[in-house]
Amino acid sequence: MNAPITGPPGAHVPVLKLGDVLLVTLRGDLHDEAAERLQRDIGEAIAASSVTGVVIDISGVEIVDSFLGRVFAEVAAHAKLLAAQTVVAGMRPAVAITLVELGLTLPGLRTALDAEEAMRLLTTAPTTPHHGPARRERP
């Protein structure tokens, strides 16, 4: 399933179905209206395709404000109600610092260093949730 989600004019957020996982890749700024639409569309895509996981790759996002942080948390909460887990991948250090400074803990969200690690987490997910960042094992 390659169902692109579009927001306001000029906004385009692709959502790809890879096995049992939806992959959402964000690039640049995501305005409030597009973020709200993305939230609705992800919920609908989970319900329609019965996926078990959602990866939101934010490696292309330089700024996350409190609104977008709440959208991520709400996507995770909605996904959980629909029996899917959410992993945010590729968070830049500056974004993590901003979220902490804003007091956003993002409950229900798991994190991974990159989309590949996020996919691995979801396809080999333990029964107990892990809420910290995924780390690759070093040789």
Specify the CATH number for the domain of residue 54: 3.30.750.24
Beta bridge partners of 42: none
139 inside domain: no
Number of folded domains in the chain? Answer: 1
Burial (Cβ within 10 Å: 0-12, 13-18, ≥19) of residue 6: middle
For residue 62, being part of any structural domain is answered with yes
pLDDT band, very low/low/confident/very high, at 12 (cuts 50, 70, 90):
low
- Residue 110: predicted pLDDT: 92
52-76 average pLDDT score: 90
CB 87 within 8 A of CB 51: no
Q: Letter for the amino acid at 22?
A: L
Torsional sign, CA 35, 36, 39, 45? negative
CA distance 71 to 101: 17
Radius of gyration of the chain (CA): 14
Show the domain range for 42.
5-134
Per-range mean pLDDT, top range of 26-30, 53-57, 67-71? 53-57
Position 32 pLDDT exceeds 70: yes
Lowest average pLDDT, out of 71-75, 88-92, 130-134, goes to 130-134
Q: Examine the pLDDT at 3 and tell me if it is beyond 70.
A: no
Dist. CA 58–CA 115, nearest whole Å: 9
Q: Is pLDDT at 39 greater than 60 in this prediction?
A: yes
**Residue 21 covered by a domain:** yes
